Amino acid sequence: MDVVETAESCRALLDAARVAGRAVGLVPTMGALHEGHVSLISRARAECGTVAVSIFVNPLQFGDPDDIAHYPRTIEADLRACAHAGADVVFVPAVGEMYPSWPAPPATTVSVRGVSDFWEGASRPGHFDGVATVVAKLFSVAGPCRAYFGLKDFQQLAVVRRMAADLGVPVEIVGCPIVREADGLARSSRNVRLSPGERGAATVLWRALAAGRAAVGAGARTGAEVAAAMRAVVATEPSVALDYAVAVDAATLEEIDVVGDAAALRLLVAAVVGPVRLIDNSPATDALVASETAPAHATLPVARPPAGPVRPRRLERIG
């Protein structure tokens, strides 16, 4: 497994893979890898001849200095996880490699209007501009490939899809199932910051989504009814501060007025639990949940070990 720190080195390795006839799979991450990330790498391993993982804590998508300061950084463990999951290339750039003007922000950024305007976009101004910018740069480095993203960040996936389509990027975007704990909590790198009590309270997000699905199944006619059912569940956990709980059109992410085709809906929830802001989502029916959920234990087996040695370098930094 090659661990590289420059865009030039990463690009050369992936170009060589394509010349050799191997399809390239890319898994963009910010590190602190967990079973959800491993599931993405394993999926890429099963479908592509060469698998690249990027590990980069992107400062452009953090509006809160405290959030980026406390974001978990576990590079040695991350490299081991990449190796065991079968990655061939790990790209771990410094901030200056991705943004040469840093600490001055880049003069050119990518903004995706529409799907990024509300929910996470409204609560975290500038967040999706940072996401779209870094993903566009990673796509430029990786070249033609399949890029794997988790459905947990549903709005982010919508933003990336729109960006790739609008810019004509030769990348196929692959959405992958959410990995959950046995109690339904979606795996997140931020979960490690939760105390045991906060960890228990955090399951209210999944319970709220279940209540939303139950409302749809019971014949709720309006999005407001579905949202009210979700909010009522979150209200049972006084330590959890709700940001939003809504039923939206899965394609546009606009809040719905009338419940029509349940398959075209998406339930979204975001809340602050202790020091951590968590998000989650699900389809609007139980029948669709199973196809989008992978239990954590199902991702532990790995496809194959890497062919060569791991060559870690001085990587523990954000700039």
Domain boundaries, the chain: 2-176, 189-287
Task: Let me know how long the chain is.
Answer: 319
Give the model confidence (pLDDT) of 89-143 as tens digits.
999 999 999 999 999 999 999 999 999 999 999 999 999 999 999 999 999 999 9
Instruction: Find the farthest-apart pair of alpha carbons in the chain and give their distance in angstroms, rounded.
Output: 57
Average pLDDT value for residue range 297-318:
41
* pLDDT bucket at 295, cuts 50 / 70 / 90: low
Give the model confidence (pLDDT) of 11-30 as tens digits.
999 999 999 999 999 999 99
Residue pair 249/266 in contact (Cβ under 8 Å)? The answer is yes
Angstrom distance (rounded) from CA 157 to CA 170: 16
Give the model confidence (pLDDT) of 58-90 as tens digits.
999 998 888 899 899 999 999 999 999 999 999
Angstrom distance (rounded) from CA 42 to CA 128: 26
Looking at residue 171, what is its pLDDT?
Answer: 98
Looking at residue 65, what is its pLDDT?
Answer: 87
Average pLDDT value for residue range 134-153:
98
Looking at residue 301, what is its pLDDT?
Answer: 38
Six token digits for residue 51 = 């698998």
Out of 3-7, 158-162, 188-192, pick the least confident.
188-192
Q: Within 13 A of 26's CA, how many CA atoms are on the CB side?
A: 27
For domain 189-287, say whether CATH 3.40.50.2000 is its number.
Answer: no
Looking at residue 76, what is its pLDDT?
Answer: 96
Q: Is 233 a residue whose pLDDT tops 70?
A: yes
Angstrom distance (rounded) from CA 1 to CA 125: 37
Tell me how far CA of residue 206 lies from CA of 126, 210, 289, in angstroms.
27, 6, 12
Helix axes 127-142, 154-167, angle to 10 degrees: 50
Looking at residue 305, what is its pLDDT?
Answer: 38
Q: Is 166 a residue whose pLDDT tops 50?
A: yes
Q: Is 299 a residue whose pLDDT tops 80?
A: no
Q: Is 150 a residue whose pLDDT tops 50?
A: yes
Q: Which CATH architecture has domain 2-176?
A: 3-Layer(aba) Sandwich (3.40)
Please list the active-site residues: 37
Cα 263–chain centre separation: 22
Looking at residue 6, what is its pLDDT?
Answer: 98
Give the model confidence (pLDDT) of 181-218 as tens digits.
999 999 999 999 999 999 999 999 999 999 999 999 99
Average pLDDT value for residue range 262-288:
96
Looking at residue 296, what is its pLDDT?
Answer: 56
Q: Find out whether the peptide bond into 309 is cis, omega within 30 degrees of 0.
A: no
